[in-house]
Amino acid sequence: MTTEATPTGQRTLALVMATLGFGLNFWAWALLSPLGPIYVKEGLASDAALIVATPVLVGSLFRIPIGALTDRYGGRLMMPLISLITVIPVLFLGFIGQYNYTTLLIGGFFLGIAGTTFAIGMPYVNAWFPPEKRGLATGIYGAGMGGTAISAFTTVRLYQNVHHVAPFVITAIVLVIYAVAAWFLMTNPPGWQPTKRSVVASMTAAAKIPLTWQACYLYAVSFGGYVAFSVFLPTMLNRWYGLEIADASNRMAGFVIVAVLMRPTGGVLADKIGPVKTLLIGYGAVIVAAGIIAIRPDLMWLGTSGYILMAAGLGLGTGAVFALVAIASDPSQVGSITGFVGAAGGLGGFVPPLLMAAIWNARGSYSLGIVLLALATLGAVIITLVIGRSAADRRATAPANA
């Protein structure tokens, strides 16, 4: 059965369950970010950068093998399995890990497993929808990154008002419930066939595709920028503007919501006007926003406008990159390519918090870091234009080759 003949209800259920799994695992993945300033205040660490960046690094690198495993075993098995595995580090952090710097890093390392779910749901959703609808579908799925907003809104409140273990226990319970539901409700797409290649062979094949590395850089800027802001913004606003931790976390949640809403919008625009034009719009917004934020304006209103524009531009970019991958790659390789691209996006979110912390310690300002983001985005604009020209050349020569 082809994707065109698949009943809409089955597609919708698949999309909902994948998006829900992605969002809930991202909630778990982001548990340490809002608590970073609290751990610093309590004397567990002198700086929160490594605490919040460790899950990002692990979740990024392990997307490569998890994406290849998804091509081999399917999203129906991998999504509930990873959700259950994530429960272990969540409970470890809640009851043991959060009271010592070393165990915080150990727990954060294994918490990174939750971030690999991105590489599971993307090929799963991609296989359920026909090419002309994949931009919207993968954009909606990508909105699951809003799970970080759940963490931003709830973690500090539960930690301070209920109990130190409350945010971890509640997250673990929700993940278990989801894993059980996913096992019974998720099915692999009609006509889906597992790849016969080994995991290593799948990763090697994906690494030989130029599109893989082009999309890696584009996603490192867009999604990496989103992850970096979502994990570091509370610390940044606390230091740069003197905001209370709870207030800074709420503002970070607002940033996340804007980016999440713009991600499916990026997918829709990619379906309508093409992913290249959509990426150029998103990256242009990021460059303008960086120019505003770098001068450290008052938060009301210019500063807030700059952060909102930044979130919107990054959200558009994250939605468009995978629309590009969805239409330009072999469906049997989407998981492996997604693993590489997702890893690049996560690494793009790992480095900036560490760099921003170093810049702050050296200069007492984050402006240089924001300028570096603008320069990296300019590089993404150039690569996007190169991809657009290459695509146009391929279309022009296709009839002659045929």
Reported as a single tens digit per residue, the pLDDT across 198-247 is 778 877 887 888 778 888 999 999 988 887 887 788 888 988 998 887 88
pLDDT tens digits, one per residue of 298-315: 988 899 999 999 999 999
- Residue 358 sits at φ, ψ, to 5 deg, of -65, -40
CA 10, CA 367: separation in Å to the nearest integer? Answer: 48
Note the pLDDT of residue 335: 67
Question: What is the chain's length?
Answer: 402
Q: If you average pLDDT over residues 109-116, what whole number do you get?
A: 94
Domains of the chain: 8-188+197-396 (1.20.1250.20)
Q: What percent of the chain has pLDDT over 70?
A: 93
Give the contacts of 82 (CB within 8 A, at least 6 positions apart): 25, 66, 113, 114, 116, 117, 120
Note the pLDDT of residue 334: 67
CA 227, CA 4: separation in Å to the nearest integer? Answer: 34
Answer for the pair 203, 64: CB distance below 8 angstroms, yes or no. yes
Q: Is the dihedral angle over the CA atoms 26, 51, 295, 303 positive or is it negative?
A: positive
Q: If you average pLDDT over residues 46-75, what whole number do you get?
A: 86
Name the pLDDT band for 122 (thresholds 50, 70, 90). confident
| 43 torsion bin: left (phi>0), alpha (psi -120 to 50), beta (else) | left
pLDDT tens digits, one per residue of 66-78: 988 988 899 999 9
Note the pLDDT of residue 329: 63
pLDDT tens digits, one per residue of 362-381: 998 999 999 999 999 999 99
pLDDT, averaged across the chain: 87
CA 162, CA 167: separation in Å to the nearest integer? Answer: 9
CA 76, CA 160: separation in Å to the nearest integer? Answer: 37
CA 57, CA 148: separation in Å to the nearest integer? Answer: 16
Note the pLDDT of residue 139: 81
The first and second tokens of residue 204, run together, are 């090697």
CA 344, CA 61: separation in Å to the nearest integer? Answer: 8
Kindly list the distances between the CA atom of residue 53 and the CA atoms of 30, 346, 373, in Å, as whole numbers in the listed order: 10, 10, 17
Report the range of poorest mean pLDDT among 7-16, 47-56, 113-122, 161-170.
Answer: 47-56
pTM: 0.75
Burial class (CB in 10 A: 0-12, 13-18, 19+), 351: middle
pLDDT tens digits, one per residue of 383-394: 888 877 765 555
Q: What percent of the chain has pLDDT over 90?
A: 45
Note the pLDDT of residue 222: 92
Cα–Cα–Cα angle for 350, 298, 254, rounded to 5 degrees: 50
